[in-house]
Amino acid sequence: MEPVSEAALIQGNEACAMAAIAAGCSFYGGYPITPSSDVAEQMVRLLPDAGGVFIQMEDEIASLAAVIGASLAGSKAMTATSGPGFSLMQEHIGYAAMTEVPCVIVNVMRGGPSTGRPTSPSQGDIMQARWGTHGDHPAIVLAPSSVGEVFELTVRAFNLAERFRTPVIVVYDEIIGHTRESVELPTSVEIVDRVRPTVAADEFWPKAPGANGIPAMPAFGDGYRFHVTGLAHDERGFPTENPDEVGALMTRLHSKVEDYEQEISEVERFMLDDAEIAIFAYGIVGRSAREAVQRARESGIKAGLIRPRTVWPFPGSEVAEVAAQVDTLIVAEMNMGQLIGEVERASGGRTEIVGHLRADGEPITPRDLFAELEKPVGVRK
């Protein structure tokens, strides 16, 4: 990727829309909700010039339904929402996972539950992003921590969705969504497109896995007949109650992500080589944690940071490696403790796990985390 010659001052939600266009998005279906509405406002301006279509639906349920339909018709499609709207989308997230329809859902998180604090930051939807829909399903969830990463990871979300034929979720909070930063955006990006069938139409089975376990996907109108159903189905795409066929389908849906987990998962390691204490943080809190670690190093404290850019699949092996090295691992989240249990599970008792949690609508600051790093052993809770 080649950067532009001059940096531009861009808002996080603007960067999301610009990245979608760069990735080849040609359809946006959505419904306005704070603090994600800027994404829709940008897409309604950008899509027509890119030959795409923008539609405002009557609610978030219909929005994702329209996105799924557009994707089946051959478009790269996305929507953006926030907490309450994300809740409404959960049934269709499960439908997209079961039917293997690539799409991108952006969730600009805000305070909750219910209406909560609609203009305040939060990280309260992290577990909903993984477990919000019913049943066993694969999940890919990306968590940028800056405006530049919003652009980068939104492009990556489209590429992952197309490659693995699955919905991909991008989560960031109100601060990142509304912050303007000077960033250098690439003039070109790597683009991945879904695999199209190469066999004759009369030989095509819509759910027959390819060499990588992922079926080829034609668009409606390409001349291939295929059935789309949220019911458990066989390789022809038709409903089945045969346990062997249902089991094979469920195993394949999970394996197509799990088999490539190391490739999908991305983690930033910062000053961990000789760290004796570390912070686990993601999103905007990862920014605060990075500065806190730098201040701690200047004070002689051997601190480090592990920041997942991919929160699902959860980077358990990377967390275990850090846990085996440090005396204490501080888990910092703007919620009541949604990923701390995953960190504890991955750590397996190798180190002390301490939560630094905040759910009052205010951000966790570098000063907060530096104070945590300064505490003597045994004082942290």
Residue 83 identity (one-letter amino acid): G
Alpha-carbon distance of 203 to 104, in angstroms, equals 30
In a domain, 340, yes or no: yes
Helices 37-49 and 12-22: angle between axes, nearest 10 degrees: 30
Same domain, 173 and 290: no
Alpha-carbon distance of 125 to 109, in angstroms, equals 7
Same domain, 303 and 159: no
Same domain, 19 and 118: yes
Concatenated DSSP letters for 259-293? TTHHHH--EEEES-TT-SEEEE--THHHHHHHHHH
Confidence grade of residue 378 (pLDDT, cut at 50, 70, 90): low
Same domain, 278 and 151: no
Average pLDDT over residues 67-94: 98
Average pLDDT over residues 85-99: 98
In a domain, 249, yes or no: no
In a domain, 47, yes or no: yes
**H or E element: which one contains 127?**
helix 126-131
> Which among 183, 205, 236 is the end of a domain?
183
Same domain, 179 and 275: no
Same domain, 32 and 168: yes
Q: What are phi and psi of 29, to 5 degrees?
A: -120, 125
Give the number of domains in the chain.
2
In a domain, 227, yes or no: no
pLDDT surpassing 60 at residue 181: yes
Determine contact, residues 91/133, Cβ cutoff 8 Å. Answer: yes
Average pLDDT over residues 169-190: 95
Average pLDDT over residues 283-293: 98
Structural domain of 346: 267-374
Same domain, 172 and 58: yes
Three-state SS sequence of 215-260:
CCCCCCCCCCCCCCCCCCECCCCCECCCHHHHHHHHHHHHHHHHCC
pLDDT surpassing 50 at residue 70: yes
Same domain, 276 and 165: no
**H or E element: which one contains 18?**
helix 12-22
Confidence grade of residue 380 (pLDDT, cut at 50, 70, 90): low
Residue 290 identity (one-letter amino acid): R
Same domain, 159 and 300: no
In a domain, 345, yes or no: yes
In a domain, 347, yes or no: yes
Q: What confidence tens digit (pLDDT) does each residue in 8-46 have?
A: 899 999 999 999 999 999 999 999 999 999 999 999 999
Q: What is the pLDDT of residue 3?
A: 44
Confidence grade of residue 7 (pLDDT, cut at 50, 70, 90): confident
Tokens of 344: 């504890």
In a domain, 88, yes or no: yes
Task: List Cα–Cα distances, 44 to 28, 37, 51, 155, 229, in angstroms.
Answer: 8, 11, 11, 18, 31
Same domain, 275 and 130: no
In a domain, 235, yes or no: no
Q: What confidence tens digit (pLDDT) does each residue in 330-363 have?
A: 999 999 999 999 999 999 999 999 999 999 999 9
pLDDT surpassing 70 at residue 5: no
Dihedral sign, Cα of residue 339, residue 341, residue 342, residue 346: positive
- Residue whose pair of structure tokens reads 């034609």 in the numeric block: 218
Same domain, 165 and 278: no
Q: What is the mean pLDDT of the chain?
A: 95
> Which among 131, 156, 183 is the end of a domain?
183
Can you give the CATH number for the domain in which 50 is found? 3.40.50.970
Same domain, 53 and 179: yes
> Which among 160, 183, 206 is the end of a domain?
183
Alpha-carbon distance of 2 to 359, in angstroms, equals 39
Q: What confidence tens digit (pLDDT) does each residue in 42-58 have?
A: 999 999 999 999 999 99
Q: What is the pLDDT of residue 2?
A: 45
- Residue whose pair of structure tokens reads 């104070």 in the numeric block: 371
Can you give the CATH number for the domain in which 275 is found? 3.40.50.920
